[in-house]
Structure formats: C-alpha cells, structure tokens
Amino acid sequence: MPNLDVAPRPLTVAGLFAGIGGVELGLEAAGMQTKLLCEWWEPAQAVLKHRFPDVALHDDIQTLQALPDVDVVTAGFPCTDLSQAGRTAGIHGKASGMVKHLLELLEDASPRWVVIENVRNMLALDRGTAMEYLVSEFERLGYTWAYRLVDSRFTGVPQRRHRVILVASRTEDPRSVLFADEAQERPESDYREDAFGFYWTEGNTGLGWAQDALPTLKGGSGLGIPSSPAMWVCNAEPGRAIVTPRIEDAEELQGFPRDWTQAALKVARPGVRWKLVGNAVTVGVSTWLGNRLQNPGNVDETGQLILLKGMKWPTAAWGNSGERWSVSASLWPEKHPYRNLLDVVDASNAAPLSLRATTGFHTRLLKSRLRYREEFSQALKEHSEYMAGSISAA
C-alpha cells in the first residue's frame, strides 16, 4: 500500500532567459525548486546571484550544452523583435530568434512541462508568424501545446499587462493547466476614478491609457529608452497631478518585494532597473501557473472550434499533430482581490513628470486625433505651467 502521508516530490525547474527571476519566484511560491538559471545580461545576473544564491547560474544559452533532468523548463525569451516598443523584426530577429536554442536543447531532453512567456504582439506580428513557428516546432518535437493570453491584473496588481503563456508537454495535457480556471474580467465599476496611468512617450497614436492602473511596464519605449509610465492623479494640486512612480513601486506592480533589483546597482546605472522590471514576468502570474502545473484541473471543451492554418491567432488555443483549436477563455483565469493604484503608488512621494516630457507629450496629444478627457488635457497644461514656473523661480 502506498504511504498517503508522504508529500509528493516538488517539481524541479530550469529557468532559461531568466531575467530577474519572476517566473522562478512565482513557481517557488507554488512549491517548486529551481535547479538551474540561465541569463546572459550582467545586471540581471547580479539580481539572480543575490536572490537565488544557492541555484546554479549559467551565463549564456548559446553555450549551455544540455538541460538538467528537471520537470519544468521555462523560457521567457527576448521580446525585443516582437514587441510594439521594440524592433518588430520578428521571431527570427537577432534577439527573439534566440528561442531556437531552447528548441535545440529540447531535442535531447524530456521535461514534463515547457513554459514560454512573451508579448501579446507575437500573435499578430507578421500575421502570427512567431506563434506559427513555435507551435510547429513543438509539434515536430512531439509536444501537445496550448497558450492563453492573460492580464496581470487578475493577480490583483494594478498593472494592465497582457502576456502570452504557452505550455507544452509530450506526456501531459497542457489544457488542464491553462484552461482549468475561468473568472472573467472584473466590471469597470470595480475600478476607482481617482488615478489613471498613461505613457508620456506616446501621444501620436496612443496613450497607453489605464483606469486605476498603470499601462504595461516596458523594458524600453517607443523612444528606445527604459522609462516609467506616468500617472494623472485627479484633483491633486498643480505639480502633484502628473507624476511618475518610483522603481520600488514598479517592482511591487510586478509582484516582487520592493528593492528586488537593488543588487543591479553594483554593475549598472539606476535607470537599468526599469528595463529589468519591465522585462520581467509578473510573479503572481507564474504562481497561478505553478499551482496548476502541480495540480492540473478539469477542462470544459465547450466552445472549442477548429483553427485552420493561416487564420488569425485567437487569445487562447491548443493543438497537436497539425490539428488546432481555438478556446473560449478570458484574460482572467482567476480574480484575486484588487489593489487600487493609489494604494500601491504613494503619489505624495512620486516624482513630478518633467517639464520637457509633459510639454512634449501634450503637444503630440493636441496634434493627434486621439480621444481623451478634457480634464486630462487641462491637468497636463497646468502641470507644464507649474513646472515652468518652478524652473524660473530657481
């Protein structure tokens, strides 16, 4: 008779393209053990060495000869060539094309699960070429795959962040991981109207507008620089109405403890921390994923439709052996208690957006055909006047 009192062995993890360990931190919160981290960028390495001191760290996937014998292999490969804020060179670009090394390593490895995370734009860029390449390669290797687009707000953080989570396995059903939970997005009435997030680097074709949340924290912007989004704090006095969060706020908005990336300052300038955090995986997302990897659930197959090659990629799908199905799944697998934006970001300690950044954004906004609140435009104008007066007074 089996001993039912013996706890199951925790799943083991190898994290490739590990960044600052957002995936691994979440998986460990779900009870897993990380055996290997692989990351080439020195500032990220400094964070990993500090936060995961007992885990082996390899410095370059291109020189990694083989994967260790682990249950889960994760790979948040570079989004640089897939992101709207990046070069959009595609899946075979110099950075995003590094995923081919993962596929080569899987030729001689047998993990139970493979997990990939990347930006939403990979579903649409070049008519979905990136996703077609990935799923075709997994099918060639004998994997069943599934993916789901999720919004980090489901974990309770006030950051509207859409990311594709892909799970593949040769022996298990990835649908039981990604599609076992369904909560549906919370109603707009749940969001307060005292603060709105936006990207001051935009203004020509978009705002990155988010109610009671910040838009996606990015590793880079359309201007090619790592930068924070900004906040409009409604009814705040001039000079305090248009502000930017601190890096510690950004860490918490990604689910990390504050000062998680402090160790990067040993080898890099402070601004690099924004890129580290912007490139990371929201910890709560990987915690949900880890719980389901260890305890797969039941799947409701209602609403699944055949997905033919060449069709637009939906927000959720699965397939194997050349057959594919779209899945009716929202971006909200769970619905954790929501933390309002001003409960995470202390607006009284946030830095005011600079005069140059404010006037540049406002000028672009006024010239655009974008729809926006008149009160927002007025707040930008008043902030510019206040900042200009402060400079003159100095």
Which residues are known to be catalytic?
79
Q: Are strands 323-326 and 316-320 parallel, antiparallel or unpaired?
A: antiparallel
- Using DSSP bridges, classify how beta strands 144-151 and 316-320 pair: parallel, antiparallel or unpaired: antiparallel
The CA distance from 42 to 254, in Å, is 21
Count CB neighbours of 95 within 10 A: 16
**What are the backbone dihedrals phi and psi of residue 352, each rounded to the nearest 5 degrees, phi first?**
-65, 145
Residue pair 160/214 in contact by the 8 Å Cβ criterion? yes
Please choose, from the candidates 35, 44, 31, the residue with its C-alpha nearest in 3D space to the C-alpha of residue 280: 44
Q: At what angle do helices 22-29 and 283-294 cross, to 10 degrees?
A: 50
Outline where DSSP puts E strands in the chain: 12-16, 33-38, 56-58, 72-75, 113-119, 144-151, 159-160, 162-169, 195-198, 210-211, 214-215, 230-233, 242-244, 305-306, 316-320, 323-326, 351-352
DSSP string, 281-306: PPHHHHHHHHHHHHS------TT-EE
**Tokens standing for residue 220:** 């880079």
Largest CA distance in the chain: 82
Q: Beta-carbon neighbour count of residue 52 at 10 Å?
A: 19
The CA angle 134-64-220, to the nearest 5 degrees, is 60
